[in-house]
Structures are given as structure tokens and as C-alpha cells.
A and B are shown apart, each in its own frame.
Chain A
Amino acid sequence: MVNITINNRKIAAREGETIMEAARRNNIYIPSLCWLDGVHSVGSCRICIVEVEGARTLQASCIVPVQDGMVIRTNTEKVRKARKLLYELILSDHPRECLSCARNQSCELQKLGEMINAEGDRFVGERSKTAIDDSSPSIIRDMSKCVLCRRCVTVCNEIQGIGVLNVQNRGFDTVIGPAPGLALDTVNCTYCGQCTTICPVGALQEKDSTEAVWNALFDKRKRVIVQTAPAVRAALGEEFGYEPGTLVTGKMVTALRELGFDDVFDTNFAADLTIIEEGSELLERLTAALSGKQAVLPMITSCSPGWIKYVEHTWPDELDHLSSCKSPHMMLGALTKSYYAQKLGIDPKDIFVVSVMPCTAKKFEITRPELANDGLPNVDAVLTTRELGRMIKEAGIDFESLEDSRFDSPMGASTGAADIFGTTGGVMEAALRTVYELVTGRELPFEDLHVKPIQGLGRIKTAELSIEDPLPEYSHFGGTILRIAVTSGLTGARELMEEVAAGSSPYHFIEVMGCPGGCISGGGQPRPVDDAIREKRLEAIYSEDEGKVLRKSHENPDIRKLYEEFLGSPLGHKSHELLHTHYVKRGIYNQLID
């Protein structure tokens, strides 16, 4: 315990914490810009300066640790003057396009200006040149708006372990980005978009798809069909001021109808379908391995397009480990333009499929040539959760007052297993609920069907599941111990992949989600995100699951109907054509290899 005084208040601070942390814990708010709790404290913006008695200069409170007897003042004349000066200097090299900036009203620089009562243009001078990098289908970089806080550098290098973004040049010429002259689409950016969730201003953002979607909605000839990912319903409310962790499934569906979508389907339906296809694929691989045949194990999940792009760049020789299943929204898109088009009796060319996703990498995924059937992309546009929030506001819809409504048939019903796809550990748990029951005829032997050891925000989580007394047709599984691992975020993925590449991975099945925490905190989700918010969204996802009567994918009656009416059998001919895909070997400069 360290005794300090902040603004004449005696405070018992913790050993080793910074002045900023001690202040926040005691509800003293020191204005800051670059600091991001638990993620980034480098003191680059200096906004959080305070007076420390005995110190020669003002101190950046986010990097200075507390010391016994420290006397700190956060709101003196000297501090206020210096803070304002620093702010105005930052602003002197920032474009004044607030009204037309997508971050208007959600910009941290703007909020800070309001808080410290900034005045007009005291400093006028040269501005950084605008250099917009819109080479990627997912993320736009506008370095004229960058305030050089370096949060994205920390997230890209330390949290995701990629290092596409770093500080280039120096002084006034400083920019954050790939090596000079390289655009995002010529490096190994995974498009995970974690940088877009922590950028305080409009320098890093998802590429806008709202215009394309409005155009489709206004086009009388198009049947515009929307689907929403499991994680969207657990976070969209935050865009409208709801507490993190508030489920807004029913209002979201109503809002989508009011926006003018012709059908509102649920990606969860396709998540159930993924479990059937991916579970069958796992059983096929395990059966082959157990009978001494060639089989590539561990099998690794393929729902997360940021993870897929990462593995293509980093481990191009290990692509056979990936499940061949398309991600759920691509499956639903493919079925919309085949199964559902047939039902409606319309030409698939006249269908426009929109996916609302917690993800920026999905915007890239839909451009992959492998993910098209009959020359048509499976999905035509991807909106992030944030973009959907914007569209609802733009349309003048009062979200809070909306009634609840339900997804449309025939691709709207889902089980609880599909809901948990939105969080780390969820795809694995959903798969186990089905695979274990298929093999043994009994329910997964975990309380409330939750595989506790693989839940939560831990980096790498593992479990073993022993298979006893299988059904006669699966007798070869008797006595098998199924070893599984789950990770979210790409540093954990790297660790697991190193084992896979070395041939020493002890696992049969691995789930990887590219973003820390999984889709609940994907690159397209509302800001801000921290672990407390992740936990709340995660709880919301599990409560959606527990609220369902059916909680195992194979119990979804509409999935059964889909196989009976259209697909035939899992891994059958039609499934392969519509629901499965292959991957591409890439170098770290995004060049295609062989």
C-alpha cells in the first residue's frame, strides 16, 4: 500500500500502479487521449499531465508510478494551461471535418475538447498531407486524421502479434502504417480490425458499405435479404446507449424490417448447419485416423476470416488442417441464392445478400473468388455492427421504442448452440454437444451443457473428453480421449500453430477466433471494448443460449428440413458445392504462392 494525496484527498494506492490508475480507481478523472486502460500507456500525447510536488516538470500520469507520500494535483492553473496548449497543438494538425467524419459524436478527440473547454485556432500552420489507403476491402487508413497515439501499434504488434502497423519516419513526417510505399493489401494484414476498435479518431475505420446497402434497398428490382451474426445482438444495443450485455435480438429484427429488408434471416441458422457439416467432417477425419488411414489432425475451425487470412500468410503449408466449411454467413448466402431462390422462384441474380457482422475481415471474405457459386458472390455486402447502428439512426428509427419481432422462415430458427458461436469457446462447445451425442447417444456430460474449461477470456484453453460406450456404428471410438484446444486472438493462435507445424500438437480439434474474446469483441463491434465489456457480452450470449428450448444444432427442425428438401446428406454433393471451400497460400506481402 502506498499513501498518496490527489487534489488534497488522501488515497491508498496500490504498489506499482500509475497515478492515472490510482486516480481512476478513486473516481478522479484525469483527461487523457492516448492512454487505454490495460492495453496502452506510453505517455505519447501528454494530455494526462499533472503536477507532482517536488517534480521539476509536469508528469504524464499514465506512465508515472505512485510513490509513498506523493502529492499530486490534477487541476491547477499550470496543468490546465499546459493541457489546453497540448490539445490545441494536436488540433492544429487535425482536419476540421468533424461534421462529415464517421466518428462525429464518437470521437475521443472531440470529447476531450469538450471536456477541457478548448478554444479556437491559436496555432495555424502546415498540416500533414492526406494519404488515404483504401486498398483493402475491410479497413481505411486516413493518416491526416491520425493523432499518433500509437494504440494501434500496440494492438497490432503486441496483442495480435502481426506488426503490420508501426511508426514510420519522424517528426512532422511521422505516420503510422506499413513500410513506406506499402498499402494494406500488399502486406500480411489479417483485416481483423482490432485497430479500428481502439483508434480514438477517424484515422482507422471499416470501409463503408452503408451506401451500397442503401442503394440495394432503394432498387425495386432487388430482393434484399439480411442476416445477422450471433455476436451482433449482444452488442448493437450499446450503439443506442444500452448497458453492455443487453440483448436486443427482437428490436434488431424489427429495425431491419423497418429499414426495408425483404427477409430477415439469422446467421445462427447457418451456425447450426456448420455444426452438422463440421461435426461430420471431424468424425470423418477421426474415423480415418483411428482406422490407421491418412487423416490431417488436428482439425481447426474456419469461421473467422481474420484467422483464415492469418494462417494463409503465416502457415501456408498447414492449410489442410482447416475445416473446409465456409463460415456460417457465407453458407447462408449460398443457400439464399440457391435453396431460397428456388423456393421463391426468382433468379439468384436479383437477390442481394447483406450480412451484419461483428467483423471487418468479413468485408474481405466476401470478395474471395472461392466464395462464389455460379459466378455470383455468396454475399454481396457486409455491414459491421457499428454501420448497422448508423443506418438505423440515419433512418430516424427510434430503436428503444421498437417492438420485438422474430426472424423469417425458413432460415431464421436456431438452437442455443448457434448463439454461442459469437464467443470464444462457443463453436467448440456447440460442436461437442452434437458430436458427442451422435457418437454415444448420450448428452454431453457437462453441467448445463457448458464445457467450463474452455469458456471465458483465457488465452489458450484446453480440455479432454473421454468417449466410453459409443453407439454400435461408432464402436471404433470406444476408449478414445478427445483432446481439444480453444484460443482467441492471434498470439494464442501462433502458439498452437507452432505445435501443429512441428507435428507435436496433442489436439484433435482446435477452435480459433481471430479477435481476443471472439466475435463479441470483433473488429466491427461497438466501441469502447475492454475485458469488463467482453465479459458482459459473453454472459449475454450464454443467456441467449440458455433461454432456448433447443440447445443442440442437430435438433434444429429447419436444418433437418433443409437436408430433406434440398441438401441430401451432410458432406454430400450439394453440401460440397455450396457449403465447403478451399484456401489460398499467401506470402507475407499478400502475394499468391503457387
Chain B
Amino acid sequence: MGGQSKTKACACKNISEQEKYNRIAEVIEEYRDKEGSLIQILHLAQGIYGCLPHELQQFIAERLEIPLSKVSGVVSFYSFFTTEPRGENIIRVCLGTACYVRGGKQIVDKLQEILGIEVGGTSKDRKFSLEVMRCIGACGLAPAMTINDKVYKQVNPDKLRSILDQY
């Protein structure tokens, strides 16, 4: 994945819009002749830009000389991609079978209530975005959720506030 690439994904905050586009252009040049590289390019572009708004999708489509509808098709298919800026911290609640039966849904409900947003949304203070995953491969820890790279196991909905307070 992106780890081996010299244009490693990172949500750099302090570089200008133009610099971000330049870096994405570099990514495109690096991957353009590799078959099936659109997903990889989008993944890295989202890492650089933070999200994949319409204009950025147009930029990628034009550079790759492929139809915009193909780019938007991939972006709108995978829930990992987002067209709007996301919060500082990404909460992902697992709703795979094991987590679902052990109360994953209640975690989602409670988070929606606390943050005042729907799944896929971002809190007003841009601190949190809420997403749902279908199995993160931690079924033994069910119900599980992640915030950024940290995994929370056997989450109790009543403890959610104190977890969020750490961020």
C-alpha cells in the first residue's frame, strides 16, 4: 500500500491548496501507467487533501484522461472515500455480525445522540466524524469501535462520553 510510496499519505494541515494539488499530481504521475491504480490514487489523494470534493475528482479524471463518471463511480462506491472534509478524529463503529449482535447498533445510536450527527456526518466543531464499518476483524472484542488508529473493545454505550472526552 501507500507505505512503500515516496508520496506517503498524510493529512498535512499546513500546506497550501496549490501544494496539495501539486502533490496529488505527483501521485497521479507515479501511478498513471499501472493498471487498476485509480483506487490507490484516490486513497492517496484523500490522504493529502483530506477528502475528495467534486473539483478534485475532475482534476484526477482529467489528468488520468478517464471519464469523471468513472472516478465518481469509485468514490461513491467505497464508504472509505468522502467528498466532504471530515473531522479531526474518525470514529468507526463496527457493525459486523459479531459486533451487531453484541450491541454495535446501540453504540451508533448513542454516538449520534452525543454528537448530534448522522452516520457519515461530521460534528459542528469538526472534531469527530462518524462512520460505520462492516467487520474490522476484531470479533473477539465485540462490540468494537475505533477512533483513528486506536481500537476500543467491548464498548459500553454509557462510557462513550468519557472516551470522547479524551480527544
Q: Which residues of A contact B67 (CB under 8 A)?
A: 157, 162-164, 166
Is there a chain B Cβ closer than 8 Å to A140's Cβ? Answer: no
Q: Are A168 and B76 in contact (CB under 8 A)?
A: yes
Q: What are the residues of chain A within 8 A of B69 when measuring CB–CB?
A: 163-166, 168, 177-179, 187
Q: What distance in Å separates the Cβ of B22 from its nearest Cβ neighbour in chain A?
A: 23
Q: Is A169 interfacial (CB-CB < 8 Å)?
A: yes
Distance of A167 Cα from B54 Cα, bound (Å): 16
B54 CB, nearest partner CB in chain A, Å: 7
Q: Which residue of A is nearest B79, CB measured?
A: A170
Summarize B's interface: helix, strand, loop or mixed: helix
- Return A180 CB to nearest CB of chain B, in Å: 6
Please encode chain B, from 52 to 85, with 1 for each CB lying within 8 Å of some chain A CB and 0 for all others: 0010010000100011111111001100000000
Q: Does A547 touch B at the CB level, under 8 Å?
A: no
Could you tell me the distance between the alpha carbons of A167 and B57 in the complex, rounded to whole angstroms?
15
Contact yes or no, A167 B68, CB < 8 A: no
- Chain B min CB distance to A586 (Å): 15
Is A125 an interface residue, CB under 8 A from the partner?
no
A472 located at the interface, meaning its Cβ lies under 8 Å from any Cβ of chain B in the complex: no
Q: Are A179 and B54 in contact (CB under 8 A)?
A: yes
Question: Cα distance A167–B70 when bound, in Å?
Answer: 8
Q: Mark interface residues in A159-193 (1 if CB within 8 Å of B CB, else 0).
A: 00011111111100000011111100001000000
What distance in Å separates the Cβ of B129 from its nearest Cβ neighbour in chain A? 19
Among A164, A166, A168, A170, max chain B CB count under 10 A is at A166
Pair A180/B76 contact, Cβ less than 8 Å? yes
Convert A27-53 into 0s and 1s, putting 1 for each residue whose CB lies closer than 8 angstroms to a CB of B.
000000000000000000000000000
**Neighbour of A178 across the interface among B62, B66, B68, B77, CB < 8 A:** B68
Interface size class of chain B, counting residues whose CB lies under 8 Å from the partner chain = 10 to 19
B73: chain A residues within 8 A (beta carbon): 166-168, 179
Q: Mark B74-105, 1 if CB is under 8 A from A, else 0.
A: 00110000000000000000000000000000
Nearest A residue (CB) for B72: A179
In the bound assembly, the distance between CA atoms of A178 and B54 in angstroms comes to 12
Q: B62: nearest residue on chain A (CB-CB)?
A: A588
Chain B 35-57 near chain A by CB (<8 Å), digits 1 or 0: 00000000000000000001001
Q: Which of B54, B69, B71, B76 has the most CB of A within 10 A?
A: B69
Q: How far is the CA of A178 from the CA of B61 in the complex (A)?
A: 13
Tell me the minimal C-beta distance from B87 to chain A in angstroms.
Answer: 22
- Inter-chain contacts of A178 with B (CB < 8 A): 68-69, 72
Please report which residues of chain A, range 12-26, place their CB below 8 angstroms from some CB of chain B when the two chains form the complex. Answer: none
Give the CA-CA distance A266 to B76 in the complex, in Å: 49
B68 and A170 contacting across the interface, CB-CB below 8 Å: no
Assembled-state Cα–Cα distance A181/B54 (Å):
10
With both beta carbons as reference points, the residue of chain B lying nearest to A162 in the complex is identified as: B67
Q: Residue of B at shortest CB range from A161?
A: B67
Q: Smallest distance from the beta carbon of A157 to chain B beta carbons, Å?
A: 7
Q: Complex Cα distance A168/B74, Å?
A: 8
Q: Which residues of B contact A166 (CB under 8 A)?
A: 67, 69-70, 72-73
Query: A residues 345-361 with Cβ under 8 Å of B?
Result: none
Closest CB in chain B relative to A475 CB, distance in Å: 47
Closest A residue to B77 by CB, please name it: A170
Residue of A168, A169, A179, A187 contacting most chain B CB atoms (<10 Å): A179
Q: Which residues of B contact A (CB under 8 A)?
A: 54, 57, 62, 66-73, 76-77
Considering the complex of A and B, which 3 residue pairs feature the smallest CB-CB distances, nearest first? Answer: A163-B67, A179-B72, A166-B69
Extra A-B contacts (19), CB below 8 Å, given A163-B70, A164-B67: A157-B67, A157-B70, A162-B67, A163-B67, A164-B69, A166-B69, A166-B70, A166-B73, A167-B73, A168-B73, A169-B76, A169-B77, A170-B77, A178-B69, A178-B72, A179-B57, A179-B73, A181-B54, A187-B69
A sample of 8 cross-chain residue pairs with beta-carbon separation below 8 angstroms, ordered by A number, consists of A164-B67, A166-B72, A168-B72, A170-B76, A170-B77, A177-B69, A179-B68, A588-B68
